Amino acid sequence: MPPVDVLIQRLDPELPLPSYAHPGDAGADIVTAEDVELAPGERALVGTGIAIALPDGYAAFVHPRSGLAARFGLTVVNAPGTVDAGYRGEIKVILLNTDAKETVRLSRGDRIAQLVIQKVEKAVFHEAGRLPGSARGAGGHGSTGGFTGS
């Protein structure tokens, strides 16, 4: 599939554009525009220094980076954050330090999250008094079991 063209504005000329670490990657890494210090359990809304204009029918999703999650417990509170095609403001990341003990320190320019660009469908919602049956029915939230914890 050919890549989709996305207009991007650098709000901070010194910071890099999003970049794919490898050709086959789904996520393009984005950086923090500021130094950030997060105490255990603390969250922060962090600027990335970029704004984009996605074509209609696309959205960008802000995902955590697994390395930061595994090493420091750093995640994105609203993962994946949704950047609408019509949004022209700075892309921001809502970081959360989930670690119980250690403070997370990030420097301006550090890669903190990744943007996944996807096509999205628009739905037309048709109200119905009854829904068609299905094999799952209303079962959810653990209805198939498989838990070993107590």
CA atoms within 13 A on the CB side of 44: 20
Q: Angle at CA 14, nearest 5°, toward 8 and 18?
A: 40
Nearer to ligand DUT, 55 or 139 (CB): 55
Q: Angle at CA 13, nearest 5°, toward 18 and 112?
A: 35
Nearer to ligand DUT, 37 or 84 (CB): 84
Q: Report how far residue 149's alpha carbon sits from residue 34's, in angstroms, rounded to the nearest whole number.
A: 40
Least distance from C-beta 58 to ligand DUT, angstroms?
Answer: 12
Question: Is residue 110 part of an annotated ligand binding site?
Answer: no
User: Which residue's beta carbon is nearest to the bound ligand DUT?
Assistant: 81
Least distance from C-beta 85 to ligand DUT, angstroms?
Answer: 8
Least distance from C-beta 81 to ligand DUT, angstroms?
Answer: 2
Would you give the binding string for ligand DUT spanning residues 8-47, x where CB under 6 A is met? Answer: ----------------------------------------
Instruction: Specify the DSSP class assigned to residue 19.
Output: B
Q: Report how far residue 38's alpha carbon sits from residue 97's, in angstroms, rounded to the nearest whole number.
A: 6
Tell me: does residue 92 bind ligand DUT (CB under 6 A). Answer: yes
User: Of these, 81, 96, 104, 117, which contacts ligand DUT (CB under 6 A)?
Assistant: 81
User: For residues 3 and 116, is the Cβ–Cβ distance under 8 A?
Assistant: no
Tell me: does residue 91 bind ligand DUT (CB under 6 A). Answer: yes
Element (H, E) at 92: strand 92-97
CB atoms within 10 A of CB 43: 14
In the complex, the residues that contact ligand DUT under the rule CB under 6 A are 62, 78, 81-84, 87, 91-94
Annotated binding site: 65-67, 78, 82-84
